[in-house]
Structures are given as structure tokens and as C-alpha cells.
């Protein structure tokens, strides 16, 4: 099996008992785009970390001065792994700027497609990126005692997933050759077909525009979608059972797994997937908070386990970007305001001009092409774990037959197919760590899948009421105008800030993706980003028989965030 990353020891000093070492994992593989990570260790602990986006994409300066018609097609290419979320975000920002909200059916189709994309992102991340880190070949080599125990431990979810022991689960996590990997391929094919039914093609949709969706709408399309969704429900049950069994076993096998990737429960999310779109959605700045409350995936910022806001306008107002440790020139505030005339922080994206300043990587200076976004100065991550946490705490989730927040958990009813109807329950964890991020991805398959089903039911209701218009069209104003989109993709929150001038040219287009938040470098105050925080203090459990460490403990922590650096380095 190929090594999961290239680990280059830079130096090692001190005694064997408490040796200090510095290693560079670069390039980091099984991630989306260029990523390099420098870790310092002492004995059996990671003591410092620097996360570096190694490739400049440049979409923000490319778009300056262009015709606004070009924006959606270009930003779609920001990421090919989740290619529709950037185009969707762009359409929402331009709808606000141009005053052209989409009709209810277009909102339903957008919710269906985006929730479906989240199914794919969760499932593919677990099978292709994170799963191989816990495969038999890796565990056998890096922690032999864990492998020995896994072979003797019965898997509680055997009747659901079909693997009698934890060791068997690990064998089937093997990249390309394992059954779990192969089960994900046909499941993923169905999911991609489902997206194509609403967005025309994937990953770069052919039918999106401000003010609507150009899909051909038929009862047959909805039926074809729902049939494929129904065929996927058994796979959803199996994924949750596999990861519950594996994660619970690892906690028992070695309690240090609970400490890997640990950081405070601080999250930022915008929400997504509009529901009950007939209730007056207008897509305006004034309606920002009202519109966001109908999203099935919730809006909110949590700091150290406490919800501090669930208002999308406040989420936007607190965002600032630092470039002190990034390959960009500093910028001075332009004194711009939001569309209502409200003041903005000096380092708010709307005040930013992206000017690249390439140079050698300096771990004390500039070392990343990602910026360092913060919310009111707080370090926050944006991951499926935060989304489920906010959903579990929600008191205004729309009544439905599938999803029930309890305040401390999220109950999700997965319908009967070959396997019986099952209620799976995700509980708010006691710790924020690597394994709980992966568990949230597993339950995220079910959450996003049932949210997609709710959006499909919205579509059927609109069909019965003959509300089948899918586009209101648009016209570009001749005056200056601005709009934003804060919208969750599968990985986390995606932000677009759009402004055009009186010549009908793009004056500003700023993007902050989920991995900009998660994989950010130090900020102006020298405070590490979320992934850097998660690495610092992570225990090194690896004890290979030959004494040659592979860096698997750092690699697992990194993969837990599902980095997508193409969406982070603009």
C-alpha cells in the first residue's frame, strides 16, 4: 500500500526518551489540492504545527473588472470535488445584488441538489480519504496491539454492515481493494445521477443562473430522483454502523484516540437547503435573517460550546481575514459599508483587495496561500460536526417525519428497504476530536439525505399546486450594487462577497471556503488556525515494530477536516 503522504524528517535532537523532531508532510495526499503541514514533536506529543496552502488559485484577482455574467462559470471551477456549491453561492450573491429572487420551485431544486452533493461529499470523504488511515495494513504496521485486539473484537453492528469483527471492518477499509470502498462506488454513482437530474451536469452545473434554475421540470425527474434516493438508504445505515463500531472500538482500545485532533467546540455555519419556500423568500439583504431561518441545515456561531448567534447578518458582520502569515499584501480598509449602510470591520472581506505577494515559505512569516479568517477574533472551524451540533440544539426545526432535534442529540429516521426502518441517533459528543469529526461525516450522510428528501417533498407539493416556474430571470442594474452569499457546502461554510461598479463590471469578488476556515495559518495575533490547534497537543500513539514512524497520527488529524485547498487559496 502506498504511503498516505510524504513525510520528510527535517531534524531530530535530544535523547530518545524525549526527542524533539521536526517533520514536513508535503505533499499531503488524499486531500483536495496542495497542502503541506509542518509538525514539531517532543517525545510522544505534537507540540507545534503549521498548515500551508501551497498552490495559488487566483480567482479573486482574475474576476476583477470582468462582466458579471462571467462570475458563475468561473467560480464553479474553484473546486471540482464540490463544484456546484461555489456556483450556487455565486448565484445567491448576485440575486441579492440584482434584486431577482428565484421562485419557490427553483429554491426546492437548489435545496435538492445541494443536499445531495453533501451526501456525496460525506460518503466519499469517509471511503476515499479518511477510511484508509484506519485500514488493516496501516493499523497492523503502526499500532500492532490495536490490530491484535481488533481481530478478536466482535462488531456490534454486524447485522447491519455484515462484518463480524472490527478487524474485518479494517480489512474492508483498504483503499481500492476493500469492500467498503467498492460499495461506495455504485452508491456514489446514484448520488451523482441525482444531482444531474436537478443541476444538468456535475461538478459544474449547466442550468444555474441568478433568479432560478433552468432544469426541465417533470414528474418523471422527481420520481427518478426519489427512486435513487430510496435505493441508497441501506448504504446509509451501513456507513453509520461501520463508523460507530470502529470509533467506539478505538476509544476502548486506547483512550489516547480521544485526545487526537482535540480543540474547543467553536464552530461557524451559515446553513443551507431552503425549506417551505412559499413563505415569502425574497433573497434581499433586509430579509437575510428571515430567509436563513427556513434553511434545514442551521445558521449559527458557537464559541466554546455556547451558541452566541443564530442570525446570518451577525455571522457576516463578525468575519475578518488576516494575511500576516499569508502570501498576500496587506490591505487598508476601503471604508465600505454593507448594503444597508452599516459599518464593516476593517478586515472584512468586502474591504479586501487580493494582491499576491509570493515568496519563500517562512514559518515565522508568510507560509500559506490561505488567509486566516476569524469571527470577532475567535478561531472557529466549519465542519459537519458543527452542523450536526447546531442542528441538535435547534428548537425551530420544521416538523417532519424524518429528523428530530432533542437538544442533546439528533434522531434521524432512515426508511425501510432491504434493511428494516431504523432510527439512528447522533449525540453531541463530550469532546471535539478527529474521530467525532468522522462520526459526524457518517451521520451527515443520513442528515443530508433526509434533508434532500424533505426538499423533494416540497417539490411534489409545488407540482400539485401547479407552481412550476423555475426562473424569474434577471437584469444587471446600471448602478453600483452588492450582494453576499453565506451558504453551507458538505464540508462547511462557503462565503461569497460580490460587488459591481456603475460600469457593470466586477469590483469585488471575495471567497472564503470551508477549508479557508479550517486550514488557516496563524492570524495577526499569532494564534493558530483550527487544524493547527487540533494538531498541537495530539498524542503520538504510533509504535511501529521497526521504530520508523510514518506520521499517521498527524495524518489522521489532518484528514479528519477533509481539507479542500483548491477552495481555500484564491
Residue range 241-260, pLDDT digits in tens: 999 999 999 999 999 999 99
The HSE-up count of residue 232 (CA atoms within 13 Å, CB side) is: 29
Q: Give the position of cell 446600471.
A: 478
Q: Rounded to an integer, what distance in angstroms lies between the CA atom of residue 62 and that of residue 172? A: 44
- Determine the pLDDT at residue 17: 52
Q: Give residue 170's pLDDT.
A: 98
Confidence class for position 4, pLDDT limits 50, 70, 90: very low
For residues 407-418, give the mean pLDDT: 97
Q: How far does the chain reach from its first CA to its final CA, in angstroms?
A: 33
User: Which tens digit of pLDDT belongs to each residue from 25-63?
Assistant: 999 999 988 999 999 999 999 999 999 999 999 999 999
Torsion angle defined by CA atoms of residues 429, 408, 529 and 560, in that order, rounded to the nearest 10 degrees: 50
Q: Which residues pair with 37 in a beta bridge?
A: 25, 51
pLDDT bucket at 104, cuts 50 / 70 / 90: very high
Check residue 303 and give its pLDDT.
98
Q: From CA 345, how far away is CA 480, in angstroms rounded? A: 21
Alpha helices in 200-261 (DSSP H): 219-231, 233-253
Predicted pLDDT of residue 335: 76
Q: Kindly report each contact of residues 245-252 with a partner whose C-beta sits within 8 Å and lies 24 or more positions away, as own/partner.
A: 245/155, 245/156, 245/157, 245/161, 245/163, 245/166, 245/169, 246/134, 246/166, 246/169, 246/170, 247/435, 247/436, 247/438, 247/439, 248/156, 249/150, 249/153, 249/166, 250/134, 250/146, 250/435, 251/435
Residue 3 has pLDDT above 80, yes or no: no
DSSP state, 383? S
pLDDT at 10 over 70: no
Reported pTM:
0.95
Q: Does residue 436 surpass a pLDDT of 50?
A: yes
**pLDDT for 2:** 36
Residue 370 CA to its chain's centroid (Å): 16
- pLDDT at position 394 is 95
The sign of the CA dihedral 248, 251, 254, 256 is positive
Specify the range with the lowest mean pLDDT, choosing from 12-26, 93-107, 154-168, 465-479.
Answer: 12-26
Average pLDDT over residues 420-448: 98
pLDDT in tens, 504-534: 999 999 999 999 999 999 999 999 999 999 9
Lowest mean pLDDT among 273-277, 298-302, 449-453, 499-503: 273-277
Task: Say what the pLDDT of residue 15 is.
Answer: 45
Residues 6+ apart with CB under 8 A from 29: 4, 5, 6
How far does CA 472 lie from the centroid of its chain?
A: 30
Which pLDDT tens digit goes with each residue over 396-405? 999 999 999 9
What the block records as the C-alpha cell of 99 is 434584486
Select from 432, 388, 557, 453 the least CA-distant residue to 116. 453
Residue 366 CA to residue 48 CA, distance in Å, equals 16
Complete DSSP assignment for 77-105: GG-STTHHHHHHHHHHHHHHHHT-PPPHH
- What span, in angstroms and rounded, lies between the C-alpha atoms of 338 and 348? 10
Q: Is the pLDDT of residue 71 over 70?
A: yes
- Distance between CA 365 and CA 79 in Å, rounded? 28
Q: Range with the lowest mean pLDDT among 110-119, 177-186, 246-255?
A: 177-186
Q: What is the pLDDT of residue 302?
A: 98
The answer on pLDDT for 279 being more than 80 is: no
Confidence of residue 83 (pLDDT cuts 50, 70, 90): confident
What percent of the chain has pLDDT above 70?
A: 96
Mean pLDDT of 144-170: 98
Q: What is the pLDDT of residues 458-500, one digit of tens each?
A: 999 999 999 999 998 889 999 999 999 999 999 999 999 999 9
- d(C-alpha 253, C-alpha 147), whole Å: 9
User: Which among 50, 53, 55 is positioned nearest to 527, based on CA atoms?
Assistant: 50
Predicted pLDDT of residue 32: 85
> In 10 A of CB 480, how many CB atoms?
13
Mean pLDDT of 1-15: 47
- CA 258-264-269 angle, 5° bins: 115
Beta bridge partners of 272: 297
Average pLDDT over residues 367-378: 98
pLDDT at site 7? 55
300 backbone φψ class: left, alpha, beta (φ>0; ψ -120 to 50):
left
Q: What is the mean pLDDT of residues 372-399?
A: 97
Could you tell me the three cell numbers for 450?
A: 433526509
C-beta contacts of 420-429 below 8 A and 24+ residues apart: 422/160, 422/237, 424/237, 424/240, 426/388, 426/392, 427/392, 428/389, 428/392, 428/393, 429/385
Judged against a pLDDT cut of 90, whether residue 84 lies above it is answered with: no
pLDDT category of residue 16 using cuts at 50, 70 and 90: very low
Task: Label each residue of 57-75 as H, E or C.
Answer: CCHHHHHCCCCHHHHHHHH
Closest of 440, 424, 411 to residue 157, by C-alpha? 424
Helix axes 434-464, 104-124, angle to 10 degrees: 150
Residue-wise pLDDT tens digits, 301-348 = 999 999 999 999 999 999 999 999 999 999 877 778 888 888 888 899
Amino acid at each position: 500500500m502506498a504511503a498516505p503522504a510524504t513525510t520528510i524528517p527535517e531534524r531530530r535532537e535530544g535523547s530518545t526518551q524525549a526527542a524533539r523532531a521536526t517533520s514536513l508532510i508535503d505533499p499531503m495526499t488524499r486531500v483536495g489540492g496542495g497542502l503541506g503541514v509542518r509538525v514539531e514533536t517532543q517525545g510522544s506529543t505534537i507540540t507545534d504545527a503549521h498548515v500551508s496552502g501551497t498552490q495559488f488559485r487566483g480567482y479573486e484577482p482574475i474576476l476583477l473588472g470582468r462582466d458579471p455574467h462571467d462570475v458563475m462559470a468561473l467560480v464553479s471551477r474553484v473546486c471540482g470535488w464540490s463544484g456546484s456549491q461555489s456556483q450556487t453561492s455565486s448565484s445567491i450573491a448576485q440575486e441579492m445584488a440584482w434584486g431577482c429572487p428565484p421562485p419557490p420551485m427553483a429554491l426546492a431544486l437548489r435545496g435538492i441538489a445541494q443536499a445531495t452533493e453533501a451526501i456525496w461529499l460525506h460518503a466519499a470523504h469517509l471511503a476515499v480519504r479518511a477510511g484508509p488511515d484506519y485500514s488493516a495494513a496501516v493499523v497492523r504496521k503502526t499500532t500492532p496491539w490495536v490490530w491484535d485486539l481488533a481481530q478478536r473484537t466482535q462488531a456490534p453492528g454486524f447485522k447491519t454492515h455484515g462484518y463480524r469483527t472490527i478487524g474485518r471492518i479494517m480489512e474492508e477499509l483498504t483503499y481500492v481493494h476493500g469492500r467498503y470502498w467498492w460499495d461506495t462506488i455504485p452508491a456514489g454513482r446514484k448520488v451523482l445521477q441525482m444531482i444531474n437530474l436537478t443541476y444538468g451536469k456535475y461538478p459544474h452545473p449547466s442550468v444555474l443562473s441568478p433568479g432560478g434554475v433552468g432544469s426541465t421540470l417533470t414528474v418523471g425527474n422527481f420520481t427518478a430522483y426519489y427512486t435513487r434516493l430510496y435505493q441508497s438508504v441501506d448504504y446509509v445505515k451501513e456507513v453509520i454502523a461501520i463508523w460507530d463500531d470502529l470509533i467506539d472500538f478505538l476509544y476502548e482500545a486506547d483512550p489516547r484516540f480521544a485526545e487526537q485532533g482535540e480543540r474547543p467546540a467553536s464552530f461557524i455555519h451559515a446553513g443551507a437547503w431552503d425549506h417551505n419556500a412559499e413563505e415569502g423568500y425574497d433573497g434581499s439583504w433586509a430579509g437575510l435573517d428571515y430567509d436563513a431561518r427556513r434553511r434545514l441545515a442551521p445558521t449559527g456561531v458557537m464559541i466554546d460550546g455556547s451558541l452566541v448567534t443564530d442570525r446570518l447578518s451577525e455571522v457576516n458582520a463578525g468575519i475578518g481575514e488576516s494575511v500576516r502569515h499569508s502570501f498576500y499584501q496587506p490591505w487598508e480598509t476601503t471604508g465600505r459599508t454593507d448594503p444597508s449602510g452599516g459599518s464593516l470591520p476593517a478586515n472584512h472581506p468586502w474591504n479586501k483587495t487580493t494582491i499576491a505577494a509570493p515568496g519563500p515559505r517562512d514559518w515565522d512569516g508568510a507560509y500559506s496561500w490561505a488567509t486566516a479568517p476569524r469571527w470577532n477574533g475567535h478561531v472557529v472551524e466549519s465542519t459537519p460536526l458543527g452542523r450536526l451540533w447546531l442542528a441538535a440544539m435547534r428548537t425551530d426545526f420544521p416538523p417532519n417525519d424524518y429528523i428530530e432535534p432533542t437538544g442533546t442529540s439528533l434522531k434521524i429516521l432512515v426508511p425501510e428497504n432491504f434493511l428494516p426502518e431504523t432510527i439512528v441517533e447522533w449525540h453531541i459528543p463530550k469532546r471535539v476530536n478527529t474521530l467525532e469529526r468522522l462520526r459526524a461525516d457518517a451521520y451527515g450522510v443520513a442528515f443530508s439525505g433526509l434533508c434532500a428528501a424533505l426538499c423533494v417533498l416540497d417539490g411534489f407539493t409545488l407540482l400539485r399546486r401547479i407552481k412550476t416556474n423555475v426562473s424569474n430571470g434577471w437584469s444587471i442594474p446600471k448602478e453600483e450594487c452588492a450582494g453576499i452569499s453565506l451558504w453551507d457546502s458538505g464540508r462547511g461554510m462557503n462565503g461569497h462577497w460580490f460587488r459591481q461598479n456603475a460600469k457593470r463590471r466586477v469590483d469585488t469578488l471575495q471567497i472564503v471556503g470551508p477549508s479557508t476556515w479550517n486550514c488557516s495559518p496563524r492570524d495577526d495575533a499569532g494564534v493558530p488556525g483550527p487544524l493547527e490547534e487540533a494538531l498541537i497537543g495530539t498524542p503520538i500513539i504510533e509504535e511501529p515494530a521497526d521504530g520508523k514512524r510514518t506520521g499517521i497520527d498527524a495524518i489522521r488529524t489532518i484528514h479528519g477536516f477533509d481539507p479542500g485547498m483548491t477552495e481555500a487559496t484564491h
